[in-house]
Amino acid sequence: MAGYPHHFVTAHLGYPGYAHTTFVPASISNPANSVTQLSAAQINAGWVEHHSHDGRKYYYNTFTQQTTWEKPQELKTQREKILCNCPWKEFKSENGKPYYFNENTKQSVWIKPQELIDAENQAAACNSAVNATVPEQPPSIPPVTPCTPATPKDDVNKPPEPSEIERAMKATLASFDTSDTGPSSISIPLPPEKVDDSDKDESDEEKPVSNPHITTFSPNTQTVPEYKTRGEMAEGLRRLFRDCNVPGGATWEQALKLISGDPRYCILRTFNEKKQIFNVYKTQRLKEEREEQRIRIKRAKEDLEKYLLKCNKLHSTMSYRRVDQLLSDTKEWTDVPDRDRREIFDDVIQEVGKREREEAKILRKRNIRVFNEILSEMLDLTYRTTWSEAQQMLLDNTRFTGDVDLQNLDKEDALVCFEEHICMLEQEHDEDKERERRRQKREQRKNREAFIVLLDELHEQKLLTSMSLWKDLYHIINK
């Protein structure tokens, strides 16, 4: 039996717990054949589907001893090959809603892309063409009979003579030094990324036997970065999740589709360690996403508030519904949820109302000042002028008619300004009269004083005596 390699014999045993049937090509019935002498067609035909202990499917090549989680290209149908070439893949969210992810651009959308629709139509057309033709019969491959003793029904029906390959298989089993007497102690190895150290406590039927004669070929031939400590390995795997943009709400299956093609995925060998690091990354990523969302919403609120404060269309008397209609196509408005928009709208409306009141107050002061200046420049306006006469004068004034803001002056304010101006004119008139009265009084006082001086001079000249009459002195004083 030295001519049969161990990996050849063990690859064709029926293992408990694996629902499959293994077929051996007729070309390898000769014990002298080896893996290196197999053709490409034989290697392609060696792929067999298996199920791991957790129910997941994986594929094992009985010739190359290669294991992989992905379905080999040789086992894919024409429809699967067409869909595999399409970068868009369909997934389902946690609530069951389908979405579509582009493996090249890392873009996800809710609506099925046209590229995926075309690929499905092409695959459907291919299936229709295949169903219309007569399928070719696969080459006849004799199955290997499991190494289990046959139970005779009677003395007449005896079991057939064991074939040469069956005898080789039995001899190989007998050469193994193990306490188990059945083939359950030998199993097809799982892919490397699913080996879990926590399974060491399970029964021998669930543990694959390490065979030094079997060489496992990894599907990923890229070099894995070197890490010295397990902490660096864990950090490298966390960096892999981040580099692949794995979202915080992703499941392990969704994350596996994004990172399985990277060589850093094989940094840690056990499934539990990978899952534990993924859970830690997921928790941290969720916190970061919530913080990013909070900052994004805060920035959107600030942008919306600035936009509304600068918007010339917004007035303090407008309703939320009216503003929603005006700004429905504005990015700053649509980026903020409705509830937050209402709160920002209420705050902005109050601010706009306050600003409008301040502006109206400033404008009113300005109009009153300008109106008073115009009234002061109107020389024809006296304290006896009526309001109707003043209005007609204002219509003839070019400065008043050319000022647009002044035309919006409240009539009550204009009337108050006119009354104040008339009062001022009356006061000026009264002051002029008082000044004239005082001037005349002062002049009269001076005249009296000068007349007294004249009388004194006449008395010194002996022209004025106690016996003098006014009629005698009048002609002298009159001179």
CA distances (Å), origin 477, targets 430, 454, 468? 37, 8, 13
From the CB of residue 375, how many other CB atoms can be counted at a distance below 10 Å? 23
DSSP per-residue codes, 108-122: EESSPPHHHHHHHHH
Q: Is 170 helix (H, G, I), strand (E, B) or coil?
A: helix
Are 175 and 239 found together in one domain?
no
- Residue 134, exposed/middle/buried by CB under 10 A (0-12, 13-18, 19+)? exposed
Please count the structural domains in the chain: 3
248 contact partners, CB below 8 Å, separation of at least 6: 282, 283, 285, 286, 287, 288, 289
* Cβ contact 53:181 at 8 Å: no
Share of the chain above pLDDT 90, in %: 17
Q: List pLDDT tens digits, range 93-106.
A: 777 788 888 988 87
The answer on pLDDT for 440 being more than 80 is yes
Residue 243, domain member (yes or no): yes
Residue 117, domain member (yes or no): yes
Q: List pLDDT tens digits, range 339-383.
A: 888 888 898 899 889 988 999 999 999 999 999 999 999 988 898
Confidence of residue 144 (pLDDT cuts 50, 70, 90): very low
Are 65 and 20 found together in one domain?
yes
Are 182 and 258 found together in one domain?
no
From the CB of residue 188, how many other CB atoms can be counted at a distance below 10 Å? 21
How far apart, in whole angstroms, are the C-alpha atoms of residue 19 and residue 21? 7
Task: Return phi, psi of residue 443, to 5°.
Answer: -65, -40
Share of the chain above pLDDT 70, in %: 69
Are 179 and 294 found together in one domain?
no
Q: List pLDDT tens digits, range 249-285.
A: 888 888 888 887 777 777 777 778 888 888 888 888 8
Residue 270, domain member (yes or no): yes
DSSP per-residue codes, 315-329: -TT--HHHHHHHTTT
Tokens coding 423: 């009062």
**CATH code where residue 331 lies:** 1.10.10.440
* Cβ contact 306:263 at 8 Å: no
CA distances (Å), origin 108, targets 72, 105, 445? 26, 9, 108
pTM of the predicted protein model: 0.39
Domain residues for the domain of 331 are: 230-347
Residue 108, domain member (yes or no): yes
Tokens coding 152: 């005779």
Helical (H) or strand (E) element with 101: strand 98-102
Are 57 and 178 found together in one domain?
yes
